[in-house]
Structure 1
Amino acid sequence: MSKYWYDYCPDGVESRFEMLVFDRQNQPFLPLTVHYHDCIGRISKSSALSYVQCLLPFFTWLDQFSNFQGKQVKWDDSPDIIRIAVEDYLMNEMACKVREKDTFRFVNRTNKSPNTVNRFLSALKSFYKSLIRLKQYNHSNPLIDSYAILNDYKSHTEGVRKDKPRMPAEAGTENATPHRRLTDSYFKLINEEWQPEIISDIYLPYQVYQAGKKVNWSLREVVIARMLFETGARASEVIELTIGDYHSRKSFQEASTFNKGSHGKRVKFIRFSKDTVKLLIRYINTERKQYDKLHRNFDALPNEVPIFLTVIGTPLSYEAWYYHWDRAMKECEIKLNPHKTRHWFVTTRLREIYNTSKTEAEIAQRKNELIRYIKWSNKDTIIVYEHYFDEERHFEAHNQMLENMKKREGEYLKQMKNKRIKKPELKVLEDIKQIEIDQEILELLDGMEE
C-alpha cells in the first residue's frame, strides 16, 4: 500500500527545502513540507520531524478512507469538515473514544490506542497554524475551539453586577479569577497525565546491538547506541557532543553535555563503560579521521569540533542519525523509540539500587544521586518508577508466601498420611490486658469484628 513519505535533499542538489514530503503518487506534497521548514527555528528539528512522522499516516488515511457526504476530505476543506475527519480518524484508526461537550470534544484513549494521540493532535494543530501563518489555509484553525476562548474571556471580564465589568482586584469586592492556562484545543485529551515507561527487559540493549549488526551499522552508530543505554542521556545530548565535552571531565569515562532547556549550556555529565571508551577512541582515530577534512586523530582535534561526523565531514544531526536507528529497528521488527533507552536506563539503575542497598536510608541516598545525575526538572518523576518497584517487591514477597504455603501444605499432607498430626489447639487469652498491643493493631482488630 502506498503511503505518504519523506526524504532529505541529496548531497550536491540545490534546493530551498532540506527535506521533502511526498504523497501516495510520489509527488511532492508541499503543505507538510513547508510546515516542517516553518517549524524549524520555532522548535527543534527532532520535534519538527516527530510532528511530520505523526502526520504522515493521517494524510495517507485522508486520501484513502476519509469521507464527508460521499466525497473525500481534503486537507484545505473548511474547519467543520476537517474536524469530522479528525474525529473519524481518532475513533477508527487510533481507537479513541470521542465525546461531544459544548463546543468541543473530549478524547479518551483506550488500551488499544497508541501513545502518540496527544502528539498527533499537537502536530495537526501546529500544521494548521503554519499554513494559516503562511496564508495557504484560508480558514480558522480546525484544531482550535474559538468559542472556548471567547467564553473564558467573558468569564474573566464580566463582574457580579449585571452588565458591568469586573472590579479591579485591588477593590476586593469580587472573587479573584483563577490563574490557569487557557486550553483552546477543540479536541481535549482527558486523563492524559504523562507517565514514564517502565522498560524492564534486561536484554534490550543487546537486541538493539544485534539489530545494528544486521544492517551493518558503522562504528559511529554502535558507539552512540551504547552511550544511550549506558548513560540515560537523550539522543541529541550524545549526538552533539564535542571533543571539548570529553576533555572537560577528569575521568576518561565521562563527558559534559547539555540538558533539555539548558539552551546548549553544559550543565551535567554522562558516564559510560570502559569498553565504550575504547570503541569511541577507535572511531575517532579511524572512521572519523577518514571523514575529517584535515584527517586529524584524537590528539590533534581542537575542543570545539564535534565528535560525530557525517560521511561528508559535517556535524552529525539527529535526523541523519535517526535514519540508521530506524532502519535497524524496522529490519528486526523492534518498536523502539530512541527515548525509551532513557526509560530503560532509569528502570535498570533503580532495580540495582533496590537489589544492592542494605537499608532504606541507603536506597533514599542512591535515588537522590540518580535524580541529580539524570537532571530531572521535576523530582516527582521518580515516584512512578518507585511505584513499579514497590509492586515488584510486593509480588516477590507474595510469591514467597505462596511458595511457603505450598511447602507447608505438603508437610501437612505428609503428616496426615503418617497419622502423626495433632489436633490444633487454640490458646485464647482471657484478658487482653495480659499483652501489649499497638494502638493501630487494636483499631484493625476492632474493625474486623464488624
Structure 2
Amino acid sequence: MTEFIWNLFSFIVALGILVFVHEYGHYWVAKKNGVKVLKFAVGFGKPIYTWRSKSGTDFVIGLIPLGGYVRMLDERIDEVLPQDKFSAFNNKKVSQRIAVIAAGPMANFVFAIIVLFAMFMMGGKAVKPVVGGVDQSSIAADSGIVAGDVILSVNNQPTPSWESANYALIAQVGKPSFNLLVERGNAETNIIVNSNGWEIDDGQVLKGLGIQPYRPNPLLTIALIVDGSPAQIGGLLVSDKLLTINGIILKTWQQTTEIIAANADKKLNVEVERNGQKITLAITPKNRPTKDGFSQGYLGVAPDVEKWPKGYVFDVQYGIFPALQKSVEQTWSFISLSFQMVGKLITGDIGLNNLSGPISIAQGAGHSAESGLVNFLKFLALISINLGVVNLLPLPVLDGGHLMYYFIELIRGKPVSERVQEMGFRIGAFILMMIMGIAIINDFGRL
C-alpha cells in the first residue's frame, strides 16, 4: 500500500509538472500573439483551486491530474463582442495559430533540455556495457558475442555506458543487421549482428538479443526486506546470512530463489547466521502467480552483492557549456528515437505490447523518485519528450492534428471545412482511445 501511495504521488507530481509546462507553452505564445485566454487548466473534473488574473484568465487545478488545456476565445464557440474580435484565436493569421499550437510540444522539448542540463551538471553514476552472459541459441550467440565483451559502439555510435548502448540498440530494431564494435581482451572486434527475428517484449531490448549485462554476483546476505513481506513476518533481518532451507545447504542466490519460488504457501525452515549465531526461522512464502497463472513463491528480500570490478562503474559530470551541449544533443536524440519508435509500431517492427499507460508511468515515476533526484530528472525529461512527440502526431484531437489542418490551410489559402474537421476529430478520438486502451491492458498485464 505504501508503494502504491508513493507511486501515485510521484505520478501526480511528474504529470502535473509536465502538463503545466505543455499548457504554459500554448498560453505564453497565445498571449504574445494577442489571443485572449479564458482558462488555463491543469487537471480535469471538479476544481480544487481557482484563481483569476488581472487579464481575466481563470487558472484552475482540477481534481483528476490526467491532462490539461488552455481555453482561448474563439468565435466558433463563444459569443465574441465586437471589441474582442481581434483577440479571438480563429481571427489570427494561420502562422500565428500554428505558433500557438506548436508551442505546447516545443515547451516540453525545451523543458527536457533544461532538466537534462541540470542532471548533467549534478552528475551521476554510469555502468560500463560489459556482457555478463549470452543465452544459447540467441541472436547474440549466433552472431559471436561472448561473455566479457565490452560494447564500444553500435553502428558507429559510441556506447560508453549501458544506458547509451540500450538507446543505440533500440534504434536498430527492424533492421536486418547492424554492426557492433566490441573490446575482447586487448583487441577490438567488429561483429555483424543478424537481427532478423529480433523481438522486443515490454521494452526488453537486450533480452530479445539474448544478452545479459554483467552484474556483480548476489551473495546470500540479506540487504533489503520489504515491509509487510513474508520475510519480515517470519523474522528475517537485514544482514542475516542464509545457510539452509529445509536442510538444503544454500550455495547461490539463484538456488535460493528457485527453492522459494517452488514453495508458495508452504512453511519453510530457514537457517540463518546472525551475529555469529545460527538461528532457524519458520517462514511461509506468499503465492505471487506468474503471468501464465502458475504458482510462484515470494519472500520479499533482496541480497547484498559483490563489489563492482574497478572501472565498471564511473562518474559522469559536465561543466556548464559541455552540459548544455550534451543536453541539447540528448534531447534531439530522444526526439528522433521517439519518432522512430512510433514508425516501428506502425510498421509492426515493435509490437503493441510495448505500449505503456498511466500505471507503468506511475511505477516508473515512483521508482525513479526512490532512486534519487538525478534519476527522477531523467525520467521527467524522457516523459516530457514523449509527451511532446505524441502531441505532434497528426491525429486531429492532438496538437499535431490541428497543425495538419493549419498547414493545409496555409497551402490552400483557405481553412479545411468544418465537416471534414469534425469527421477527423471523431476518427482521431477513436484511434487515440484504442491506443490508450491497449496501453492500459498492457499495464495490467505487467502487474
TM-score (norm 2): 0.24
Higher RCO (CA < 8 A, seq sep 6+): 2
Which structure features the higher share of strand residues? 2
Give me the TM-score of the superposition, normalised by structure 1: 0.24
Q: State which structure, 1 or 2, has the greater radius of gyration over its C-alpha atoms.
A: 1
